[in-house]
Structure 1
Amino acid sequence: MLQAVSFAFMIVFPNLALMGLGFYMQKSGKINTTFIDTASNIVFNFGLPCLLFFSVIKSEVNFAEQSTLILAGFITTFVLFFGAETYAKFFVPAVRDKGVFVQGVFRSNMAIISLSVATNAYGAVGTSVGAIYMGIITILYNILSVITLSRTSQNTNFKSQSIDIIKKIFTNPLIIALVSAFVYKGLELPLPPKPITKTGELMANIALPLALICAGATLDLKSMFGLSGVSMQASIGRVIVAPLVAVLAGVLLQLPPVQFGVLFVMVASPAAAASYVMAKAMGGNDVLAANILAFTTVVSMIGLAVGMAWLRVAGLV
């Protein structure tokens, strides 16, 4: 048991420490919103794409062997999506809250939190497996987000906004990097020349630490503790229900330990930062989205540690 707790602590503590550093730096005035915005843009447009691209093309992971993991991801996502839609229909009265609630339940922060935890837990293999999973499920996340926010938004021009969001999906740097990596890997091309590979690796190395610092710097404790009823319900769905659905899917499909662990950390992470951006863009309740994001960012890290420790004791990861 002690070994399991130590394992969970080691994979979660670096993330919490970097987020805590970001929170401290922002509160003490060492960094400001201009730095956070600029750094976030660097991570999103350059750092993470390089990390994902080189993780995939250098991986020894067999894509066919991950088909069961991807299936588990689809099952988990659809169960959470349709379950949240059904719940919202009966128990979330405000129209502007419905899509935000649904998105808060099913959409996790895979690109930053999950990928970092998977790397801490399993090293390069965890990064590679996580990157492939994330590349496919991210596309599904964006499609489902457009659907739920379009149907529940009060904005009468949601059709044009949906088209704009769909365009953004296919111009998303992370998706472009992953699709390019899948094609590159599928063609069995050799690794790029050493200078290019080294440059890409250096850029990739800054992605997760800088992203976690920025995530910590954007935490809003007032929003986090000013939870409304709907916000708390969505947070419970993200922090408790989503991980349990992932565990059930992993057990039913008998995933091997590394894939089981990757599935869990990909699903059990906080609400995605993109959920706030999309809610705001499509006329949803952006304050509700911010509350869900802030609360789950902190609480989910505890859930990740407890969940991984329990799964370790059970011999599943």
Structure 2
Amino acid sequence: MLQAISFAFMIVFPNLALMGLGFYMKKSDKIDTHFIDTASNIVFNFGLPCLLFFSVVKSEVNIGEQLYLVVAGFITTFVLFFGAEIYAKFFVPDVRDKGVFVQGVFRSNMAIISLSVATNAYGAVGTSVGAVYMGIITILYNILSVITLSRTSQNTDLKSQSIDVVKKIFKNPLIIALVSAFIYKGLDIPLPPKPIVKTGELLSNIALPLALICAGATLDIKSMLGLSGVSMQASIGRIVVAPLLAVGVGVLLKLPPVQFGVLFVMVASPAAAASYVMAKAMGGNDVLAANILAFTTVVSMVGMAVGMAWLRVLGWV
């Protein structure tokens, strides 16, 4: 148990350090709002798309063997999404908070936290299984995020809103990158030339650090720690409800140990760094998104470690 918690701390510390750096830089006026806006746009339009594209392209894709795991991911995501939507309708009054709250509940940090834990737990097999799951479910995440965040649109006509949502889905850089990656893999095309791969890797490397620095710079500590605040409610959904639901779905579908473990770490991880970037890009409450990201990053890692330890004791992972 202590070893698992120690590992979780080693995984989460760099994230917290980068967010702390962003918070310090903003408070000491070393960066301003203009920098945060510009950097967030770079991450959203270039860094994260490259990260997701090359993560899928370099993975060993075998969807047939992981069908039940992918089905489990869809069930878990939809239950969290629609449950959060119903909750937000009645208990989250501000329209700019609703989509951010929903995204904070259903969208986890698969690209950096979950994939790292899966690799540590199961080696190359965990990486391969996790990358396929991440690629498919991330497409779903982004589609649902566009839908829930589009409520901030100025259009009131239902038909116009629907068209606007569809346009945003097809124009979303993260969705384009992932669909392109799966088509690329499906056509069995070899990796691009090394200079292109290297350029993509360099862009990938800036995505999450820069996103975390910008999120830290946007933090509102007082709001984050407010027990009655929307950020706390979303965080409870992410760090308590989501992992328990993942366990229930895993048991229901009788997933084999590796797939059960991958499902748990993919669902139980903190809120995704991309959720902050997308909320900011689409007019949601970016301060709320940053607060959810920060709190869940601190707390959920302990939950992941304890959860994996118990699941190992039960023989399920």
TM-score clears 0.5: yes
From the superposition, tell whether residues 106 and 159 of structure 1 become closer, same or farther in structure 2 (CA, over 3 Å): farther
Q: What does 1:90-169 align with in structure 2 at a 5 Å threshold?
A: 92=91, 94=93, 96=95, 102-110=102-110, 114=114, 129-144=129-144, 156-157=156-157, 159-169=159-169
Alignment-mate amino acid for residue 251 of structure 2: V
Q: What pairs with 1:231-246 in structure 2 (closer than 5 Å)? A: 232-246=232-246
124 and 52 in structure 1: CA distance in 2 versus 1, 3 angstrom threshold: farther
Correspondence for 1:27: 27
Displacement of 1:182 in angstroms is 0.6
Change (3 A) 1:117 1:205: farther
Q: C-alpha displacement at 1:158, in angstroms?
A: 5.4
Q: Secondary structure at the match of 1:212?
A: helix
- Cα gap change, 1:270 to 1:60, in 2 (>3 Å): closer
Letter in 1 for 2:105: V
Shift of 1:266: 2.8
State the partner residue of 1:198.
198
Say which is worse superposed, 242-251 or 257-266, in terms of deviation.
257-266
Shift of 1:227: 4.5
Q: C-alpha distance in 2, partners of 1:61/1:109?
A: 20
Contact 2:44 2:278 in 1 (8 A): no
* Secondary structure of 1:161's aligned partner: helix
1:9 partner SS: helix
Give the residue type in structure 2 aligned to 1:223.
S
| Structure 1, unpaired ranges of 5+ | none
Return the TM-score normalized by structure 1: 0.78
Distance 2:160 2:243 in 1: 34
Amino acid at match of 1:181: A
Once the two structures are overlaid, the 10-residue window that deviates more, 192-201 or 127-136, is: 127-136
Equivalent-residue separation in structure 1 for 2:152 and 2:31 (angstroms): 37
Q: Is the 8 Å Cα contact of residues 220 and 294 (structure 1) preserved in structure 2? A: no
Residues 231 and 292 in structure 2, CA contact (< 8 A), matched pair in contact too: yes
Cα distance change on mapping 1:139 and 1:162 into 2, 3 Å: farther
Compute the displacement of 1:85 (Å): 4.9
164-173 vs 237-246, which deviates more? Answer: 164-173
Report what 2:248 is aligned to: 248
1:38 aligns with 2:38: yes
1:257 CA drift (Å)? 4.7
Aligned partner of residue 236 in structure 1, secondary structure: helix
Q: Distance in 2 between matches of 1:133 and 1:179?
A: 14
- Describe the superposition over 1:242-278 as per-residue Cα deviations: whole angstroms up to 9, x where unpaired: 1110122223334345543432233223445676788
Question: Is the Cα contact below 8 Å between 1:99 and 1:153 reproduced in 2?
Answer: no
What residue is the counterpart of 1:170 in the other structure?
170
> Helix, strand or coil for the counterpart of 1:156?
coil
Match of 1:228?
Answer: 228
Say whether residues 1:267 and 2:267 are aligned partners: yes
Asked if structure 1 preserves the Cα contact closer than 8 Å seen for 2:235 and 2:292, the reply is yes
- Return the alpha-carbon distance in structure 2 between the equivalents of residues 7 and 300 of structure 1: 13
CA distance, structure 2, for counterparts of residue 308 and residue 21 of structure 1: 30
Query: Per the alignment, in what secondary structure is the counterpart of residue 34 of structure 1?
Result: helix
Contact 1:12-1:305 within 8 A present in 2 as well: no
Distance between the aligned counterparts of 1:19 and 1:283, measured in 2?
21
Structure 2 CA distance for partners of 1:154 and 1:106, relative to 1, 3 Å: farther
| Residues 15 and 117 in structure 1, CA contact (< 8 A), matched pair in contact too | no
CA distance, structure 2, for counterparts of residue 239 and residue 214 of structure 1:
22
User: Does the 8 Å CA contact 1:39/1:214 hold for their aligned counterparts?
Assistant: yes
For the structure 1 residues 289 and 161, does the alpha-carbon distance in structure 2 shift closer, same or farther, using more than 3 Å as the test? Answer: farther
Q: Percent of pairs identical after alignment?
A: 87
Contact 1:55 1:128 in 2 (8 A): no
Task: Indicate if the aligned counterparts of 1:4 and 1:313 stay in contact, CA closer than 8 A.
Answer: no
Q: Give secondary structure in 2 for the equivalent of 1:105.
A: helix
Deviation at 1:181, TM superposition (A): 0.9
Alpha-carbon spacing, 1:152–1:190, altered in 2? closer, same or farther (3 Å):
closer
Q: 1:227-254 CA distances to partner (integer Å, 9 max, x unpaired)?
A: 5366544432222011110122223334
**Paired AA for residue 20 in structure 1:** G
1:203 positional shift: 1.9
Contact 2:143/2:175 (<8 A) preserved = no
